[in-house]
Each structure stands twice: as structure tokens, then as C-alpha cells.
Amino acid sequence: MSHSTADSLRPVTLDDVRGAQKMLAGVARVTGMEGSRRLSQLVGAPVHLKCENLQRTGSFKLRGAYVRIAGLLPEERAAGVVAASAGNHAQGVALASSLLGVHSTVFMPRGAPLPKISATREYGAEVRLHGQVVDETLAAAQEYAAETGAVFIHPFDHADVIAGQGTVGLEILEQRPEVRTIVVGIGGGGLAAGIAVAVKALRPDVRIVGVQAAGAAAYPPSLAAGRPLAIEHPATMADGIKVGRPGDVPFGIVGDLVDEVRTVTEDELSTALLYCMERAKLVVEPAGASPVAALLSDPGAFEGPVVAVLSGGNVDPLLLQRLLRHGMSAQGRYLAVRVRLTDRPGALAALLGVLSVVDANVLDVSHVRTHPRLGLTEAEVELHLETKGPAHCAEVEQSLREAGYTVIG
């Protein structure tokens, strides 16, 4: 393990990952593997889910943070550590620091979800809210490090962090030695790089597939250019992999050892998150669901047995509510439609009667009675409906039209 910050760019080896595994014994959980019958049917081979969403702090981040902080020199520990994060890395650094007796300061964006802020404080960190986006928060943390001498703990761009994350790869090989493909989400690249170092050293035949959100996919153009490139305004619901530029250290490893980087859409992410809850009974965040999204969207592309890494489960309940609705909509199980009708007593009851006949469950109803597009006796009703799939959605809309209603969409 590293004992200073000077060698952050050194190569990461299998011995580093094995050393990290010994260091993490009794600290990080050896997370379980859950088989997935439905995914196995789709892929045509066994699929197992590596449940890092059940890791301490709810994600794999504790592994790398602990190894990095444990490797500090005594004088570096005495100066304390500082990090910037909207969630998972913050909690990993907070708990790792507490376990090692090191003072930690964590900068978080002002808009970070309250449960993540509270959890970070409860794990022992001093939390400072700064900026609206992570880039501003990161700058504040680095400024704090320069002023105070605290050691900045990067979420992915350090050899020790990558070695810690690589212990996930060792566990996969121990738990499922027959594995042929490992699928893992990629943001900055620390987890994928660590897994690749460990797995390719022991089993070069295992294929490693990285997954990025299409709206925050910095790796494909960077790999094509042969150097890390930044993308402007990365946009995705998967904040755990919403990183605008690959890390310098993981980029080289991913380029050498990861076989393929795929992208998934927002609809595919929300569908995968819903799948994990309904079918696997596992709460995951969108970034954690990204490997499942890749499997669901193109199951024939993966040679089995497959292990999909569920990297984290820290999702804000309010966001989860929206994500589940988005996932249901993507599957055709949720329909939002506006209907124009005559504004008279009994009109809404008649409309709901039509929906009852076609067995559409009404979740929400709202009226618009005053608008330039409406006539004096007209109203619009926006309906949110629970449906049984795309064919049922089409049946509902057709029934409304046949009953004489103007369906606006």
C-alpha cells in the first residue's frame, strides 16, 4: 500500500489488491451474490448480482477510501482528510476516517439529498455545504486542503483507491470462479479499473464490460482519442456515474484491461432499477442498476456465466418515487394523458366510467378550466393511469377516442 500521496500515479498490481483485501478484512463486508432467474433466462446462461448495495455505507466506496486513508503517514493522518462528494464517496470517507481515528471534513453540494447529508454526519464527518454542483464543491475541498494541510481523498484517481475497489474483483472470482463476463458501471473508472487489475491478472479469459449512462459517457470518446477528454454538462439520473472526465489513473487501466464500454439510456436505467426492486427484491441506485440495464437492453451480447456488480443502493426516497414512475412509464405500465371534455356535471364520472371498463387504474386527476386553447364550455383533464403494458396503453387511448373524447397525449 502507498504511504504517501506522491505515488498516486504508480501502476496498480494484483499484489496491491491482495494487500488491500487483507487490510479490509473485518472492515468491509464480503457482499453476497444473488442469482437472477429472469436475467439468466434472457442471457441464456447463469447471471449473478454482486450486491455492493448491501456494503457498509451502502456502496463499494468504503473499500477504496479505507485503503487510501490507512496508507497515510502519521503526520498526514494528524492533519486530517478532506473529500468532496454528493453521496457515496462522502459516506465511505466518513466511516473509514472514523474507524481509523482520523478527522474528516466532507464538502457536499447544497442540493445534496438530506438522507445522504445526515448519514455522512452520523458516520463521523464534519459536513460543509458548498456550491450547487459537484465541481464547485470539489474546488472548495481542494482549496480547504491547500489552506489547512488536510489530505484530499479523491474518489477514484489514486492507486490506493483503485486497489481497494479491486477487492470486489477478488471476491467475484472466489464466489463465482466459473464467471465468464463481469459487467460494472463506470463513472470516473475506479471500480472498473480495480476489478480489471485483479481479474485479468488471475483470469485473463474473463471479459470485463463497463457501462456508462449515455448522457455522461466520457469514456468512449476518450478511449477513441487515447487520452481523457471532458464532456460538457453530463446529464443523467445516475449521479453515482455522472462524471464528466475519466480519472488519469483509471483511464490507462480501463484502456488496457476493460474489453468494452457500453452505454445505456435513462429509460433503460429506470427500467433496470424497477426490475431490481420487483424481481430481485434489491434496492439499488440508478448507477448501481447500470449493469442490469445493459443486460436487459442487449442480453445476447454477454457470454455467461455473468456477474453484474450492483455498486450502490443509496437513493433518496423522493428520487426513488420519481424513478419508479419513470421505470413504469418506460415499460408501458404508466400512462399520462390529457383529455378534452365538456365542462358539465357528471362529465368526469362518465370519463372515469370509460376507464373502468378497460381496467385502467386512475392514480391522479387534475383539471384545467381556464386556458386560451379552451372554449367557454370546455375543460381539460390530465389523467395519470396505471396500466398493464404498451398494448393496454393503446387500448385505453383507443377506448377514449371511441367514446368521443379528444385525446391530446
How far from 127 is each of 6, 82, 115, 168, 215, CA to CA, in Å?
27, 10, 13, 28, 29
Residue 332's pLDDT band (cuts 50, 70, 90):
low
| pLDDT (tens digit per residue) in 268-308 | 998 899 899 888 899 999 999 999 999 999 999 999 899 99
Q: Where are the beta strands (DSSP E) in 18-80?
A: 33-35, 47-51
For residue 84, what is its C-alpha cell? 468532496
CB atoms within 10 A of CB 375: 9
- In this prediction, residue 2 carries a pLDDT of 43
b or e along 129-164 (b: 16 or more beta carbons within 10 Å of the residue's beta carbon)?
ebbeebeebbebbeebbeeeebbbbbbbbbbbbbbb
Full 3-state SS string of 120-150: HHHCCCEEEECCCCHHHHHHHHHHHHHHHCC
| Active site residues per annotation | 61, 311
Query: What residue type is 89 in one-letter code?
Result: H
Q: pLDDT at residue 364 above 90?
A: no
Range in 29-33, 208-212, 314-318, 320-324 the model is least confident about: 320-324
Residues 6+ apart with CB under 8 A from 6: none
Average pLDDT over every residue of 67-86 = 95
Q: Which residue has the cell 470486489?
A: 168
Q: pLDDT at residue 4 above 50?
A: no
Residue 340's pLDDT band (cuts 50, 70, 90):
confident
State the alpha helices, DSSP H only, in 213-346. 219-225, 248-257, 266-278, 286-297, 317-330
pTM: 0.83
Residue 366's pLDDT band (cuts 50, 70, 90):
confident
Q: pLDDT at residue 200 above 70?
A: yes
